Structure formats: C-alpha cells, structure tokens
Chain A
Amino acid sequence: MRVMAQVAMVMNLDKCIGCHTCSVTCKQAWTNRAGTEYVWFNNVETRPGQGYPRRYEDQEKWKGGWVRTATGGLRLRSGGRFQKLLSIFASPVQPKLDDYYEPWTYDYENLVSAPLSDDFPVARPKSLITGEDTKIEWSANWDDSLGGTAETLANDPILQKLRKDSAEQIKLEYEKSFMFFLPRICEHCLNPSCMAACPSGAIYKRAEDGIVLVDQDKCRGWRQCITGCPYKKMYFNHRSGKAEKCHFCYPRIEVGLPTVCSETCVGRLRYIGIILYDADAVTKAAAVKDEQKLYEAQLDIMLDPHDPEVIAAAKLGDIPDEWIEAAQKSPVYALIKHFKVALPLHPEYRTMPMVWYIPPLSPVVDLLREQGHDAEAPGNLFGAIDALRIPVEYLAELFTAGDADIVTLVLQKLAAMRSYMRGVTLRNERDESLAEAVGMTGKAMEQMYRLLAIAKYDERYVIPPAHRDQAHNLEEMGCSLEEEGGPGMGGSGPFGEASGGPVPVAIESFNALRDRATADTAASSESLRDRTGDTNWDGN
C-alpha cells in the first residue's frame, strides 16, 4: 500500500442553475489571454446536449481514454507509443476549432468612433482568430437550456447510445422533458490518459496533492494529450504552441483557498477535500474487466482516513499530519465513500476521474410536479425514480457506465432525505423507516442533509495549506516575463488585453494579490502587466 493524497471535488448537480458564473470567473482568472480565447477550463453544459467541444463523449471518433486489452492490461484508445510517434506529424484525431467554436469579440470602437449618420452604429462581431468580421454560429454553451435542440439534440452521443440500446423508440419530445446542467473541469484523474499520451513527458501529477499539470517548459506542442483526454479538457494554446489545462487553481489551493470556480459558485454546489488513495492499486482497479464495476473499483482504492493502518502508511509516505486530519474531515470523502451519493463522470474511460457528481434528482421531481403530483411525498418520488427510466438511464450512462441500479439507489437516498427532512421540518417527526429503506439511519440522513443543504464555507472546503516550511516559496517572485523582449512586453493588441502578446500562465500567489490589494498606493502599470485577469484588479 502506497498512500497518496489527492485534492478532489464533488459537485451537487441538483443545485446547479446553469448561471455560468464558475465558467466566467475561471476564464477571467486563467484563460483571458491570447491563444486561449476558445478555452474554457471550466464549462457548464446542458444535458441532454452535445457538450463542449461538440460530441466529445463519442470516443469512437475522438479516441480518448483507455481500453482494456485482451490480456487484462490497459492501452490508450488512440494507440500505443509506436503508433503515436509514427503519427506525430499530423495528430490524427485532434478536434478542430469548429468543434469548439470560433471565438469572437465585438468592434465596440465603432460605437464611439463612427461618424455622424442617420443609422445607429453597430458593434460587429469580429473573429478573435482572424480579426475579420465573423458570423457567430456556435459557442461553448450554444445549446444552453435546451436552446435549439430541435436541430441538435439528436447529436448527443449519450442519447444516441441509449436509443441504440433501448428496444423502444425514445421520442424527441420525451427527451426534451428533462434537463440538467453539468459543470466540468479537468478531472485530475488518478490514471490520466493525457499524461500517458504525452510524448515529451511534460504532463505530471503532483505528488503532494495529485493535481495534474503541464510543464510549460517541457511541452513541445505534439498535441497527443488533446486526443488522449476523453473529457477533452486539454487545450492547445494556438499562440504559444503549448498545451494548457485546468490546474485546480493550485496557487490558491496551496494557501488553503478553494478554486475560483468553487469560490464564486452561486449555488454553493462544489465541495473540495482530500482523498487518500492507494497509488499501487490504481492500474489494477482501472483495468477491471466489467465497465460497470469500475465505480466500485475506484471506491475500493480510496482509503479510510480513520483506519490506523492507513494513517501509519500515510505517515510513512510523508503525508503531513494536517493533511491526514483534513482527509478525515473531507466533505468529498463523506459524499463519495461514506454516503455513496457522489458518482464519477464516465468511469468507463478508465482514467479514474477525481471530480465526482451527485446526480440530480430534479429531472425526476420536475416531471412529477408537471404531472400534478406532490413531488416530495416519499411514495411518489420512489415510484417515479423507478418509473421514469429515461432520466435515470441517461444519468447512468454519464456516471456508472450504464448501471441504472447504482443511480437509482443514489436518487432514492436523495429522495428519502427530502422526505425525511420534510417530516422533521413540518411535523417534527423522524421517520426512521424512510432512512432504512435506503440502507441508512436517521442520524446519517441528517448528517447528509447538513452537508448537502447547509454546509458552510469551511465545511465545503477543507483544504490544508501547503507545508509551512515551504510557505516562503509561495511569495510572488520577480517575474521573468518582464525582461526586455520577454512575452510580457507585448502590451495590448487591437482587441484589448486578451489579444495582446501571449503571456504564459503567470504564477501569482494569493499572498501577492493580497499585498497588492491592500497596498496604500496604486499598483504600477509595470506590476499589472502580467496579471492574469480581472480577479486581481485592485481598482486602479
């Protein structure tokens, strides 16, 4: 047993209202730069829907993730090392810009500079790729809230699979009758296929917290990681020629702060915590034969942080005491392994993802309410979960490789919790039978309720700061970009800050930001040059 720590996230999809605040703040913080205009480290997609980039889940086409070989090993779906190097001169299945979308801005300048005329001046959309006029045809969330799905819904790879599998024809109208939002960031997998696909070995998992990063100096732009990642959360910066990805806001995590997407989440649906896992068992767990057993296999490699044996092994593996303590308090561990209400996204890709989701009960509740039923009465809800196969099977395709029983049980737990807590609130009665029906106790039910409904900031985010003795390294260092001829000298381009010279991901620590924000004098334009977005705007 080799114990390692992983910073993991759980998102409670029932609470997601699809406001895209996470996406926007993330973009402002990290991808508001030249070369990453089309990149959303965090995006929110409407399901059913095609996702971003379009149809990324169709692995027959995009060749992401791992497949199990006949001998029980794992092989990249996109091919072995030899095949990869042979096809390196033109990456065979890289998504084109059209598969994401062509980013644009508006010619706002024209609004103020147009000469006097009878017509109102307009701000034409301009492509951020060519600078020419453009026609906006798609974006990262073009099918938001099922918009335009009469045209595009049939392209959802999950619906296509369901339709192929199910004997009865699912009607489009029926498909339209449920909807939920799926916010996605990099999964920071335990068995990442982007890392395995990288010819240069530039992608690595941090030993301390499991965050998967791209070494910008080692990356040579071979683009194999983009094919390798089944979630298509690896992006190519077309200006610098390097791969970039969600880095779990590591400068914030290192000082004990949650990611920007979590911090700014309006629905407070994100949880961040530590998971201890057995690194030696990862490959074996990822190679389990039955796809539907992958969820269980991943649960098995997550270790109980209260187990004395695990604690001893963790200490042996140089995991600091604060981290073990944090793992014990981890809300993420509680939701994933204790209450078993969070599920991994597409475990069948065999990458062992570490951003998990509590499947939404709302599609079921909404349907029930639309049909005129009391959507929170226990009998109704339980019956509906069984009867409404389509939402459940759709969720199962996302979270359990198609095993509807697991999703049903999770939804039943959530339904039981609603009914149980309704009893507590309205009649002050604790109906143990409701809890027992889903294999829980009333007390556990209330704990789960507290975690899902009330949990305050420090209950949702249990993040131990990096080691004390390294704290001085987190101060902002003299940034090399400011040198003459360095990329930081670019200044602004014709379309504002985002179109200027390419600036690599600046490492600006929280401490530096705080110092700047609380300083008595305005920041000089020199020091603002390499700021990474408007989140560190200090009012000057």
Chain B
Amino acid sequence: MDVFLWGVLPYLTAAIFFGGLWYRYRYDQFGWTTRSSQLYESKILRIASPMFHYALFVVLGGHLVGLFIPKNWTDAVGISQEMYHLTALSLGMVAGVATLLGIGMLIYRRRTTGPVFMATTKNDKAMYLVLVGALVLGMWATLTGDHTATGEHHNYRETVSVWFRSLFIFQPKIAAMAASTIQFKIHILVAFLLFASMPFTRLVHAFTVPLHFFFRPYMIYRSRPKSVESTHTHGRGWDKIGTPDRQKKGDDVYKP
C-alpha cells in the first residue's frame, strides 16, 4: 500500500498533471482563461481575490522552502529547529488564514451573487472542494501534525521533505513518508488530487502568468495567417467551454 501511495501515485499524478497541461495547451487554447466574474460583482472580488492570491504565493513559497531545503542546511547556517518552526508556523498561519479568508469570501460571493453562481460550473464546484480541502488539511497538518498518534515527536522535514526530494531522483524513500503522520498523509493525497485535476479546471490560468509582459514590446504587428485553420485549437473534450446557460430550475428549454 505504501509503495503505491508514495512510490507510484506521485508519478501518476505528475504524469496526469504534465500530460493534461500539454493536452490542454495543445487542444484548448480558447478555453484557457481565468473566466473572470468581475463584470457581475467587483466589490468583494476587489478585496478577496488579491488577498487569496497573494496569500497563496506566500503559502507556495513556504512549501518550496519546507520541501526543498534540507534540514541539515538550515542547521549548518545556525538556524535552530525551534526558530525555524516558529517562523514557519507564524508566517504559514498568517498566510494560511488569509488564504482561507480570501477563498471563503470568494465562495461566499460566488454563492450569494446570482449571476456569479449561475456562471459556476460543476467543474468549478468540484475544484473548490478539492482546493479548500487541500488548504484546510494543510493547516490541520501544520497545527497537529508534529506528534504521531503514539505521542512521539514528528518533524515533517525529516519525513515528508526527505521523501519529496527523493522523488526527483526517481528513488522514492517510501519509508520516510510512511513514517509521517496521518494528517500529512491525507493532506498530500488531497494535494495529489488537486494537481491531477488542475489541468482540467480553470486553475490552469496559473500556468500562463503573463510574465513575458515585462519583455514584450508594447506594439504587436502580426501578418494575416496564410492558413486560417492552423491557428485553431479544437477544444477540450471533458466539458463545454464557457459557463452554462442561464436557466432556473424547472425552466423548459424550447425545442422545436
């Protein structure tokens, strides 16, 4: 079981993640969008969306540091475990709470603003569930995951991080991960689900952060394509592009 969860699943997730992204980039350019709902509502969005996104960057940064920087490196430069843990915990909590608050406001907005709710697809709803799940479980793991069920001290930097880094050299240290606490295990499994589903949800907009904006000239001239067809992508296959039709429950669709 451990071999499957921590030795096979990570690579399966990565395969779906990268394969999905490639597929979508190749075949669904037209559907690749943030699908903003700012036109319908902007008061809450203006506060909640930047709060969520910026806090998420901090969370992401925290994960990178925690997972990629080995404990003996920070030990070597004289950062004690207590100091590291305190910083990570306080910063992580602030960012985590802000992320949750942000996404909470966004979901509240989505549910209570009529047009925004109507523009919410099933895909979106499932995505929110997994995303919020990953966030909440992550907080739970951070807060309660420092002791195993038997009461022993647990440091994720000696279990999860070691396993995570070993994935990249294709020699997964399954035992290291298996020694982690149940909180971390669940968090990571939900994270797998999040990453595996990401290419198929609206979250893909994160992978086209327009950083090239800094380098491109303001004016863009393009010649008319020699063949119109070549510029077209053919759409994804798993759901329709755009938001569903506006209809209340019980409305009969007119079918001639």
**Residues of A at under 8 Å CB distance from B?**
34-35, 81-82, 84-85, 87-92, 94, 96-97, 109, 128-132, 191-192, 195-196, 199-201, 203-208, 215-223, 236, 238-242, 254, 466, 470, 473, 477-478, 480-481, 483-487, 489-490, 492-496, 499-502, 504, 507
Contacts and interface: CB of A to CB of B under 8 A. Distances in A.
Interface in B214-228: 214, 216, 218-228
Contacts of B53: 89
A477 B239 CA distance: 24
B84 interface: no
Given A129-B115, A206-B222, A217 B30 contact: yes
Given A205-B222, A220-B205, A485-B240, A242 B245 contact: no
B42 A208 contact: no
Interface in B17-63: 29-30, 32-40, 42, 45-47, 49-50, 52-54
Given A96-B42, A493-B253, 10 more contacts: A34-B242, A85-B214, A89-B49, A195-B219, A205-B220, A220-B34, A223-B38, A483-B235, A486-B234, A490-B240
Contacts, number: 197
A216 B213 contact: no
Contact of A201 (B54, B213, B231, B235): B213
B153 interface: no
A392 B198 CA distance: 58
B240 to A, nearest CB: 6
B243 interface: yes
Contacts of B211: 85
B30 A85 contact: no
A221 B251 contact: no
Contacts of B119: 238-239
A446 to B, nearest CB: 39
Given A217-B231, A490-B240, A236 B36 contact: yes
Contacts of B214: 81-82, 85
Interface of B: 29-30, 32-40, 42, 45-47, 49-50, 52-54, 114-115, 118-119, 205, 208, 210-214, 216, 218-229, 231-243, 245-248, 251-255
A91 to B, nearest CB: 6
A97 B210 CA distance: 26
Contacts of B231: 215, 217
Contacts of A128: 246
B247 A493 contact: yes
Main secondary structure, interface of A, reads: loop
Contacts of B29: 217-218
Contact of B208 (A200, A236, A478, A490): A200
A109 B254 contact: yes
B39 A97 contact: yes
Contact of B221 (A84, A204, A218, A483): A204
Contact of A499 (B45, B227, B242, B245): B245
Contacts of A97: 39-40
B33 A241 contact: yes
Contacts of B238: 485
B229 A222 contact: no
B114 A132 contact: yes
Contact of B33 (A201, A221, A466): A221
A90 B50 contact: yes
A221 B40 CA distance: 14
B253 A90 contact: no
A239 B220 CA distance: 27
Contacts of B39: 94, 96-97, 236, 238
Contact of A490 (B220, B245, B248): B245
Contacts of A223: 36, 38
Contacts of B246: 128-131, 493-495, 499
A94 B41 CA distance: 11
